[in-house]
């Protein structure tokens, strides 16, 4: 990047002084925003190539939703329900194949298979890019969650969202650029949205946690108990005058400019973030579409979805929202039924809403869990499925992926991915690619070597790109 | 062979020709006609740069690759062609089968035999993989060269230097026609010095006393102040935290199972004590690597040395999903080599280091040392139910530890025996009850015996509880020291040669500390680390200290002295300082004293246009680097100005109060919510659940070794300063205290500036402040709003 010498060796302030020719400093400040934000670690940054998605939303179905109950139609499996399954190493249980719990239909123009478990999402079949050849390395929740989020379960690595922030910066500096709504406290906890060795500015901001309904979740230090906004502005003006005096002692130091800027951003965030978080102004039909209402099973997830729409609309780069546990080793029918009852309608409404607002074009939506489930069970009543990292399904929508498209497949029974297999590293590489980032060039030097989200792995699934 | 004579004769002929005629075009015909096409068609898929994936580390698309072989060694042997593994593979011999899809025709295999017998001539020129940084020349690595003894440079401005180091700095400046900055004013200097040495702001009375003396006799004022601060117990708390960044200190395991470390605090306290009593830095290393193997003067001393080895145990390990032993060793190698040597040896777990002279064999020979060490890392997610179980997870301290453990073992054995007996008695009693009623006498006896057994069991359980053992994290020698086999490409299941335990052979220093039979070699490793001939350890140590005082290291990559790190700005000065440290008995305090008493440290941080043009990064130190404070001094300063700081260290730690458990899995969180007013170094560090303040102000990731912290300015920090209860309460306390003083408003403003910035207001600052206070309306106290503004603005958290 070629920058005029004056910009490299002098601060924005000094540069402003030299070039203003009598114009007011504040008036020029907006004109020079590009040069001002250049110094903030969160400033918007150029992509490696033209992106098809500007924002990324991850609808995290924690616990491992079953592909055979959702998007991976397995008639052979359903036909052979009760037939012997695969015994696992070291376990002599008599495993048997689990049959069909929900009816299946071809949906939309594309004829994509979606089961009746997810009727609302099914209505968007023509926008879905279903990845049925997913596989990952661990069949335990925590390592699998960490690998899903950071690419590694053995070492502390930056999360996907932190890499995205590091690569792209934020579109709206008045809001956090990377938000995780209701993240779990266990299963790696904050590591799943942490920056590890990347600068802390790139870490995700958690709002609430899995045990707190999003309606009750609060962000730290967002409100002042004693001062009105006007009074605080008066105080802030005094603070900024002190800051400017301090900055003036060294015109070569841009760090204090960063301090001054961070105060203005923080002050705006105090009013802007609660506004974005406040759903009370949403019209009743919208609330109903998302399933928001006291006592409704969809209330909490509906709120998260609507909040996510408002956040991405306001320019937040990456939002992850998290559902409770899709982990039904037993009572699959009621368990998955309950999870779907809580999430299907909100997700359907979310996709409709994004589309209607023209946001789906450049917002990439990812749905799925840390792994899938096994076609068989050791349960006598054939109502349960166990962890399956060998083959499972996630879906993408919007953000430049093909709609009504199924990529990859598991074997006839759903045990493992056999066709167009896509490892998590491949998914990460593809997500970054869609965001305009080359996963091999998005590196950070730490401990003497360049680190990547995908380590030494990752193939971009070009076939899924529209 | 017999069925294709014509071809073979031809091959013989050509091959003979090639040898006689040297490497002429003709001589490669055999290769071109019979070998290359086969390699391309059947082998390149897995054994070339273009291939989908490289198998076995073997490349057959270059001459070098073919000659060098793969993970399992060479594939052709020119001296003994029959033993060439390439031939075995082609013939499907010795468990080798290549290509895997099917054996090639005999005549093809024979062509290979001939080709190898005749010298395996290969015309291909290799296309080596370009090094990742082509601009870097392959020069011997500067940091591995022996320490030099540079003379003190002579300088023109002979009255400027106070310490030898000033000569080096000044001569560097003069070489670029620059002058050092003038001394800073006493107010700024005292604030700088106090934060740097003890991590707290100076109090107004201390400021006034210092300024008074400094205006008359600056050298004396400084020296006295330095001595006083170095003797303060706060010193160890400030500098201990610097070391804890490097030592990846935490109170929990992190990663997927964030198991608590309720005993980690003993290591934390050891570090702080070691710095406070100025334990020489070489011994500081010895104790952390091998404290358990060093003779102790007393029982207390022995415990302290055991605790020091916590350094090797407090890392973050994958408790599930990895290979615990190898991952633990990897953490230990990484911690030891990066913290003390500034080398990233852990790269060599899977391959020879790409840039530095460190081989996989080096890695596994170091690894053998830790494989011969038993590490008490706190165990997995399963919580210990008994003292005996706990004693297996934690290092048990004390001289009578062996006896206690033996007693415990006895109790355990006796308990097991009695439990079995109890079961038998119950069964017999059942039978008797069911059977003949006439045996009532027998029943009574049985009942009596059963009651007696149960009573004994209760007694034993009481006794085992009363044997209170003191636990820590740390290591001791394994029962059976053993060497480690190389894992090919880091794959735990693919073992290569076993390598003897030892150190880094690439380091050009001849001293060997022979590892004695039957020991792990940790003691020798420690001695080798601090041997005067080792060029790295002292360089890395002095550079770390320098970086904390001057803002950046002479080598800016403080954790990396390898090829991919930076080179020093003042190589001679670095060596001079390293020698000084070693020659003065590795005393950290006296070293720090020399740095802060230097003229270089005394410089103002003021901007100078001309110098800035020449050296915009201030690498030559023409001024003091202005820098932001870390989270601990920011937080401690807040508590301190509000008189809310408890200067006493806490007993144990917050996590010790919680006890055994795992983050997010039903631990008692009450201790975490209790107000905590001790110094920040004692705050709990849970790896997956850092406290908000730490996250906001760039606390380093405690799972990684990080000798240099980031500084970011983000809105979350301003929100903390504007709205957090901690800031509001402490500034209210300051405002109230000022209000109680019988002084004028402008004097109050002066005190507030002194308290927060270590200096009185200058120019119109005082008037400006009074104006703000007069105009501030709101529910609260305008003086609080004013004090908060002082704290929130940049100067509070920056050092000038």
Query: ω into residue B99 within 30 of 0, thus cis?
Result: yes
Given CB atoms, is B712 within the 8 Å cutoff of chain A?
yes
Identify whether B67 is part of a domain.
yes
Full DSSP string of A425-444: HHHHHHHHHHTT--TTT--E
Q: State whether B713 and A255 contact (CB < 8 Å).
A: yes
Task: Look at residue B73 in the predicted model and tell me its pLDDT.
Answer: 79
Residue B556 inside a domain? The answer is: no
Strand A205-207 to strand A178-181: parallel, antiparallel, or no bridges (unpaired)?
parallel
Residue B411 lies in a domain: yes
The pLDDT of residue B746 is above 50: yes
Tokens of B489: 């490409």
- Taking the C-alpha atoms of residue B292 and residue B302, their distance in angstroms, rounded to an integer, is 7
**Residues B624/B800, Cβ–Cβ less than 8 Å:** yes
Q: Could you tell me if B786 and A239 are in contact, meaning their C-beta atoms sit under 8 angstroms apart?
A: no
Note the pLDDT of residue B584: 96
C-beta neighbour count of B339 within 10 angstroms = 22
Q: How far apart are CA B715 and CA A266, in angstroms?
A: 4
Question: Which of A206-210, A231-235, B106-110 reaches the highest mean pLDDT?
Answer: A231-235
Q: What tens digit of pLDDT does each residue of B788-800 get?
A: 999 999 999 999 9
| pLDDT for the residue A39 | 53
Q: Write the CA distances from B109 to A436, B94, B112, B638, integer angstroms.
A: 50, 16, 5, 80
Q: Cα–Cα distance between B314 and B570 in angstroms, integer?
A: 35
Q: What is the pLDDT of residues A170-200, one digit of tens each?
A: 888 888 899 999 988 778 788 899 888 888 7
Angle between helices B324-336 and B360-371 (to 10 degrees): 110
Interval A417-438 mean pLDDT: 97
- Distance between B591 CA and the closest CA of chain A, angstroms: 27
Mean pLDDT: which of A26-30, A95-99, B8-12 is highest? A95-99
Q: Which of B17-21, B119-123, B189-193, B692-696 has the lowest mean pLDDT?
A: B17-21
Taking each helix axis from N to C end, the angle separating B745-757 and B204-216, rounded to the nearest 10 degrees, works out to 80
Q: What number is the average pLDDT over the span B570-577? A: 98
Q: Is residue B255 scored above 60 in pLDDT?
A: yes
Please list the alpha-helical segments (H only) found in A360-435.
424-434
CB contact under 8 A, B793 and A239: yes
CATH top class, domain A41-222+275-464: alpha beta
Which of these three, B83, B117, B151, is where a domain ends?
B117
pLDDT in tens, B102-131: 888 888 888 888 888 877 888 776 544 433
Kindly tell me the sign of the dihedral angle through the C-alpha atoms of B434, B435, B439, B442. negative
| B676 in any annotated domain | no
**Residue A337 confidence (pLDDT):** 96
Structure tokens at B546: 């320098």
Instruction: State the average pLDDT over residues B328-342.
Output: 95
Q: Which residue range(s) make up the domain with B442?
A: 399-469
Q: Is residue A325 less than 8 Å (CB to CB) from chain B?
A: no
CA distance B585 to B518: 31
Asked whether the beta carbons of residue B793 and residue A251 sit closer than 8 angstroms, the reply is no
Q: What are phi and psi of B289, to 5 degrees?
A: -90, -35
User: Which range (A63-72, A216-225, B65-74) has the least confidence?
Assistant: B65-74
Of B73, B91, B117, at which residue does a domain stop?
B117
Q: Which of A319, A317, A323 is nearest to A307 (CA)?
A: A319
Q: For residues B379-404, b (16+ Cβ closer than 10 Å) or e, as one string?
A: beeeebeebbebbebbbbbeeebeeb
Position A89 confidence tier, pLDDT thresholds 50, 70, 90: low
What's the pLDDT at B558? 94
Average pLDDT of the residues in A41-57:
91
Location of structure tokens 């305090």 = B589
Asked if B768 is an interface residue toward chain A (Cβ–Cβ < 8 A), one would say: yes
Domain contains B745: yes
Q: Does A25 touch chain B (CB under 8 A)?
A: no
The span from the CA of B483 to the CA of B494, in Å, is 16
Q: Is 60 exceeded by the pLDDT of residue B62? A: yes
Tell if the CB–CB gap between B688 and A190 is shorter than 8 Å. Answer: yes
Domain final residue pick, B66, B84, B117: B117
In a 10 Å sphere around its CB, with 0-12 CB exposed, 13-18 middle and 19+ buried, how is residue A23 labelled? exposed
Round the average pLDDT of chain A to a whole number and report it: 87
Tell if the CB–CB gap between B695 and A221 is shorter than 8 Å. Answer: no
- Confidence bin at B22 (pLDDT 50/70/90): very low
- Please, what's the b/e burial string for B722-759 (b: 16 or more CB within 10 A of its CB; e: otherwise)? bbbebbbebbbbbbebbeeeeeeeeebbbbbbbbbbbb
Q: Do A224 and B722 touch (CB under 8 A)?
A: yes
> What is the Cα–Cα distance from B742 to B760, expressed in whole angstroms?
18
Pairwise CA distance, residues A46 & A42, whole Å: 12
Could you tell me the two tokens for B412?
Answer: 């355990």
Phi-psi region of B177 (alpha: psi -120 to 50; beta: other; left: phi over 0): left
Going by their DSSP bridges, the two strands B373-376 and B474-477 should be labelled as: antiparallel
Chain A interface, mutation test: which of B133, B256, B492, B790, most A Cβ atoms within 10 Å? B256
* CATH 3.40.720.10 segments of chain A: 41-222+275-464
Residue B144 DSSP SS3: helix
Higher pLDDT, A262 or A147: A147
pTM of the predicted structure, to 2 decimals:
0.74
Q: What is the pLDDT of residue B491?
A: 78
Tallying the residues shown for chain A, one arrives at: 466
d(CA A35, CA B599): 37
Cβ atoms of B482 and B464 within 8 Å: the answer is no
User: Given B132, B717, B775, which is nearest A262 (Cβ)?
Assistant: B717
Specify which residues A397 forms β-bridges with.
A128, A365
Q: What is the pLDDT of residue A92?
A: 55
- Chain A residues closer than 8 Å to B701 by CB: 156, 194-197
Residue A152: closest CA among B316, B71, B699: B316
Residue B548 resides in a domain: no
Q: What pLDDT digit, counting tens, does each position of A253-264 carry?
A: 777 887 888 898
Chain-centroid distance of CA B672 in Å reads 26
Q: What local confidence, expressed as pLDDT, does residue A41 receive?
A: 77
Average per-residue pLDDT in chain B? 87
pLDDT for A164 beyond 80 = yes
For the range A457-462, what are the long-range contacts, defined as Cβ-Cβ under 8 Å and sequence gap of 24 or more?
A: A457/A423, A457/A425, A457/A426, A457/A429, A458/A425, A458/A426, A458/A428, A458/A429, A459/A425, A459/A426, A459/A429, A460/A426, A460/A429, A460/A430, A460/A433, A461/A131, A461/A407, A461/A420, A461/A422, A461/A426, A461/A427, A461/A430
pLDDT tens profile B293-314: 999 999 899 999 999 999 999 9
Cα distance from B712 to chain A (closest Cα, Å)? 6
Contacts of A169 in chain B (CB under 8 A): none
Burial (CB count within 10 angstroms: exposed 0-12, middle 13-18, buried 19+), residue A216: exposed
Q: Nearest CB to A250: which of B626, B703, B715?
A: B626
The number of C-beta contacts closer than 8 angstroms across A and B is 219
Percent of chain A with pLDDT over 90: 66
The residues in B 554-573 lying below 8 A from A, measured between CB atoms, are: 557, 559-560, 562, 564-565
- Residue where the block lists tokens 């995700």: A204
Instruction: Write the DSSP assignment of B634-663 as a string of letters.
Output: HHHHHHHHTT----SPPSS-HHHHH-S-BT
pLDDT in tens, B384-424: 877 778 888 899 887 566 777 778 778 888 888 999 998 98
What is the band of A204 on the pLDDT scale with cuts at 50, 70, 90? confident
Q: State the DSSP string of B100-116.
A: TT-PPPHHHHHHHHHHH
Q: Is B780 on the interface with A (CB under 8 A)?
A: yes
Is position B404 within any domain?
yes
Hey, are the CB atoms on A186 and B663 less than 8 Å from each other?
Answer: yes
**Which of B349-358, B425-434, B526-535, B732-741 is least confident?**
B349-358
Cβ-based neighbour number of residue A32 at 10 Å: 16
pLDDT beyond 80 at B6: no
Total of domains in chain B: 3
User: In which region does residue A265 sit, left (phi positive, over 0), alpha (psi from -120 to 50) or beta (all else)?
Assistant: alpha
Q: Which residues contact B301 (CB under 8 A, 6 or more apart)?
A: none
Please state whether beta strands B627-628 and B798-799 pair in parallel, antiparallel, or not at all (unpaired): antiparallel
In angstroms, rounded to a whole number, what is the distance separating the alpha carbons of residues A274 and A269?
A: 8
Cα separations (Å) of A366 from A208, A290, A319, A412? 21, 18, 11, 25
B582 has pLDDT over 90: yes
Asked if residue B780 belongs to a domain, the reply is yes
């Amino acid at each position: 990047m070629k920058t005029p010498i004056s910009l490299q060796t002098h601060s924005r302030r000094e540069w402003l002084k030299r070039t203003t020719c009598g114009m007011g400093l504040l008036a020029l400040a907006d004109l020079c925003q590009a040069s001002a934000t250049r110094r903030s670690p969160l400033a918007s940054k150029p992509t490696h190539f033209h992106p098809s998605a500007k924002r990324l939303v991850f609808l995290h179905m924690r616990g491992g939703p079953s592909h055979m109950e959702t998007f991976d139609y397995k008639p052979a499996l359903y036909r052979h329900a009760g037939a012997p399954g695969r015994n696992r190493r070291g376990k002599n249980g008599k495993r048997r194949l689990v049959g069909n719990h929900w009816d299946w239909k071809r949906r939309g123009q594309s004829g994509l298979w979606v089961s009746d478990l997810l009727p609302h999402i099914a209505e968007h079949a023509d926008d879905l890019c279903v990845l049925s050849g997913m596989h990952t390395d661990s069949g335990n929740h925590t390592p699998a969650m960490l690998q899903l989020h950071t690419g590694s379960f053995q070492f502390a690595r930056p999360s996907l969202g932190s890499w995205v922030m590091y690569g792209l910066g934020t579109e709206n500096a008045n809001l956090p650029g990377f938000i995780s709504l209701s993240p779990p406290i266990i299963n790696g906890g904050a590591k799943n949205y942490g920056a590890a060795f990347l600068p802390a500015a790139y870490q995700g901001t958690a709002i609430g946690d899995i045990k707190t309904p999003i309606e009750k979740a609060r962000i730290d230090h967002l409100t002042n108990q004693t001062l009105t906004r006007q009074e605080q502005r008066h105080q802030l003006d005094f603070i900024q005058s002190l800051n400017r005096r301090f900055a003036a002692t060294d015109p070569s130091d841009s760090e204090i400019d960063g301090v001054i800027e961070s105060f203005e951003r923080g002050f705006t965030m105090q009013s802007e973030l609660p506004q974005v978080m406040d759903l009370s102004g949403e019209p009743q039909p919208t609330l109903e579409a998302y399933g928001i209402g006291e006592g409704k099973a969809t209330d909490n997830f509906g709120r998260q979805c609507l909040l996510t729409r408002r956040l991405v609309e306001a320019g937040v780069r990456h939002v992850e929202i998290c559902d409770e546990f899709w982990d039904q080793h037993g009572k699959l029918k009621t368990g998955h039924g309950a999870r779907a009852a809580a999430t299907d309608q909100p997700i359907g409404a979310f996709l409709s809403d994004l589309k209607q607002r023209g946001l789906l074009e450049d917002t990439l939506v990812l749905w799925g869990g840390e792994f899938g489930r096994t076609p068989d069970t050791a349960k006598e009543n054939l109502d349960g499925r166990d962890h399956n990292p060998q083959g499972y399904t996630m879906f993408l929508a919007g953000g430049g992926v093909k709609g009504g498209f199924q990529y990859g497949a598991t074997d006839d029974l759903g045990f493992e991915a056999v066709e167009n297999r896509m490892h998590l590293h491949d998914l990460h590489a593809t997500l970054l690619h869609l965001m305009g980032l080359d996963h091999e060039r998005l590196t950070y030097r730490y401990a003497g070597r360049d680190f990547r989200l995908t380590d030494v792995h990752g193939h971009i699934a070009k076939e899924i790109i529209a | 062979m017999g069925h294709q004579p014509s071809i073979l004769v031809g091959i013989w002929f050509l091959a003979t020709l090639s040898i006689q005629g040297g490497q002429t075009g003709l001589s490669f015909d055999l290769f071109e006609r019979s070998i290359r096409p086969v390699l391309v068609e059947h082998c390149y898929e897995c054994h070339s740069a273009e291939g989908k994936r490289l198998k076995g580390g073997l490349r057959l698309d270059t001459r070098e690759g073919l000659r060098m072989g793969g993970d399992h060694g060479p594939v052709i042997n020119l001296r003994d062609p029959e033993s060439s593994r390439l031939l075995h593979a082609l013939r499907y011999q010795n468990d080798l089968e290549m290509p895997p899809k099917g054996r090639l025709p005999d005549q093809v295999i024979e062509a290979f035999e001939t080709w190898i017998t005749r010298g395996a001539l290969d015309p291909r020129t290799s296309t080596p993989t370009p090094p990742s940084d082509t601009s870097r020349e392959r020069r011997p690595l500067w940091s591995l060269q022996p320490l030099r003894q540079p003379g003190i440079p002579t300088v023109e401005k002979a009255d400027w230097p106070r310490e030898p180091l000033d000569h080096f700095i000044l001569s560097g400046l003069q070489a670029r026609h620059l002058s050092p900055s003038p001394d800073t004013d006493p107010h700024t200097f005292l604030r700088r010095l106090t934060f740097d040495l003890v991590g707290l702001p100076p109090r107004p009375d201390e400021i006034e006393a210092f300024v008074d003396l400094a205006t008359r006799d600056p050298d004396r004022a400084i020296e006295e102040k330095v001595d006083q601060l170095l003797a303060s117990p706060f010193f160890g708390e400030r500098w201990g935290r610097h070391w804890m960044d490097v030592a990846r200190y935490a109170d929990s395991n992190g990663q997927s199972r964030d198991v608590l470390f309720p005993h980690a605090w003993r290591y934390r306290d050891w570090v702080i004590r070691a710095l406070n009593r100025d334990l020489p830095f070489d011994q500081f290393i010895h104790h952390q690597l091998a404290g358990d193997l060093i003779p102790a003067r007393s029982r207390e001393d022995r415990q302290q040395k055991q605790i020091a080895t916590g350094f090797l145990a407090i890392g973050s390990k994958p408790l599930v999903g990895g290979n615990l032993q190898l991952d633990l060793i990897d953490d230990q190698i990484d911690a030891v080599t990066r913290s003390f040597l500034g080398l990233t040896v852990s790269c060599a777990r899977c391959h020879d280091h790409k840039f530095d002279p460190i081989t996989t064999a080096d890695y596994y020979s170091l690894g053998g040392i830790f494989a011969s060490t038993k590490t008490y890392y706190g165990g997995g997610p399963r919580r210990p139910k008994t003292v005996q179980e706990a004693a297996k997870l934690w290092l048990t301290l004390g001289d009578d530890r062996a006896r206690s453990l033996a007693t415990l073992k006895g109790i355990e054995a006796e308990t097991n025996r009695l439990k079995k007996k109890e079961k038998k008695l119950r069964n017999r009693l059942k039978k008797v009850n069911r059977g003949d009623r006439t045996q009532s006498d027998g029943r009574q006896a049985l009942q009596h015996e059963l009651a007696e057994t149960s009573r004994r069991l209760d007694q034993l359980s009481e006794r085992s509880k009363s044997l209170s053992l003191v636990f820590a994290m740390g290591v001791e020698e394994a029962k059976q020291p053993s060497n480690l086999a190389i894992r090919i490409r880091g794959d735990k299941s693919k073992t290569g040669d076993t390598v003897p335990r030892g150190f880094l052979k690439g380091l050009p220093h001849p001293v060997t500390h022979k590892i004695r039979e039957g020991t792990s070699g940790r003691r020798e490793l420690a001695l080798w680390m601090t041997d005067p001939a080792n060029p790295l350890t002292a360089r890395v140590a002095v550079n770390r200290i320098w970086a904390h005082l001057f803002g950046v290291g002479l080598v800016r990559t403080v954790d990396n002295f390898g090829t991919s790190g930076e080179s020093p700005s003042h190589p001679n000065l670095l060596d001079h300082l390293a020698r000084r440290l070693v020659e003065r008995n590795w005393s950290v305090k006296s070293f720090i004293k020399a740095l802060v008493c230097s003229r270089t440290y005394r410089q103002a941080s003021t901007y100078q246009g001309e110098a800035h043009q020449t050296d915009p990064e201030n690498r030559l130190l023409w001024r003091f680097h202005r820098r932001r404070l870390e989270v601990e001094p920011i937080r401690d300063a807040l508590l301190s100005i509000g008189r809310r700081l408890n200067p006493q260290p806490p007993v144990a730690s917050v996590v010790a109060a919680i006890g055994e458990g795992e983050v997010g899995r039903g631990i008692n969180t009450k201790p975490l919510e209790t107000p905590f007013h001790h110094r920040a170094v004692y705050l709990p560090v849970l790896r997956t659940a850092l406290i908000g303040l730490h996250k906001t102000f760039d606390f380093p990731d405690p799972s990684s070794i990080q000798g240099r912290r980031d500084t970011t300015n983000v809105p979350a920090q301003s929100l903390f300063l504007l709205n957090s209860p901690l800031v509001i309460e402490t500034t209210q306390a300051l405002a109230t205290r000022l209000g109680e003083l019988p002084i004028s408003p402008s004097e109050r403003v002066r005190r507030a500036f002194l308290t927060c910035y270590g200096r009185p207001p200058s120019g119109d600052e005082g008037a400006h402040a009074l104006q703000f206070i007069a105009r501030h309306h709101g529910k609260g106290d305008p003086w609080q709003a004013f004090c908060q503004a002082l704290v929130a603005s940049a100067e509070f958290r920056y050092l000038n």
